Amino acid sequence: MLPLPPAVLRRLYEEMKLMHTYHSNAMEGNTLTLQETKIVLEEITISGKSLREHIEASNTARAFDLVGDMARGKVPINHVSIQRLHEVVTSGLPEDAGRYRTDNIRITGVVKTPPDR
């Protein structure tokens, strides 16, 4: 039954992007529900949700596409593209887009500790 038809592949890709965007942002404290995230990705705003949460969802989805391009060899994986990826994720947010972090971070409820800066 392989290869899958292009329409099916596109639908699977969009579903994976939605799930990745929702779960990645939820880990960071974003309160958009899965359905709200889907609506934001369709470029519709959600009343009662912050602009930051809308931006985070849009940025994460754009970054997912960039990672897909990297995986398909359309964009080389190197220092510049990694910084570009970070810039996409943090675009429009009050952070140092495209720059390496200088502070240590911790993830609550997880045994694994991220590496020091």
Mean pLDDT of the 92-107 span: 74
pTM above 0.85, yes or no: no
Chain-centre distance of CA 48, in angstroms? 22
* Helix then strand then coil, % of the chain, to nearest 5: 55, 0, 45
Express each pLDDT in 22-63 by its tens digit.
Answer: 999 998 889 999 999 999 999 888 899 999 999 999 999 999
Residue 116 lies in a domain: no
| Domain-located, residue 10 | yes
Which segment of 66-70, 91-95, 111-115 scores lowest on mean pLDDT?
111-115
Per-residue pLDDT, averaged over 4-11, amounts to 92
Cα–Cα distance for residue pair 20/107, rounded to 1 Å = 18
Residue 36, domain extent? 6-90
Does 54 reside within a domain? yes
Residue 41: per-residue pLDDT: 93
How many domains is the chain partitioned into structurally?
1
Is residue 99 one of the residues assigned to a domain? no
Q: Give yes or no for a contact between 20 and 57, defined as CB atoms under 8 angstroms apart.
A: no
Asked if residues 88 and 63 have their Cβ atoms less than 8 Å apart, the reply is yes
Q: What is the CATH number of the domain that holds 26?
A: 1.10.3290.10
In a domain, 100, yes or no: no
What's the mean per-residue pLDDT of the chain?
88
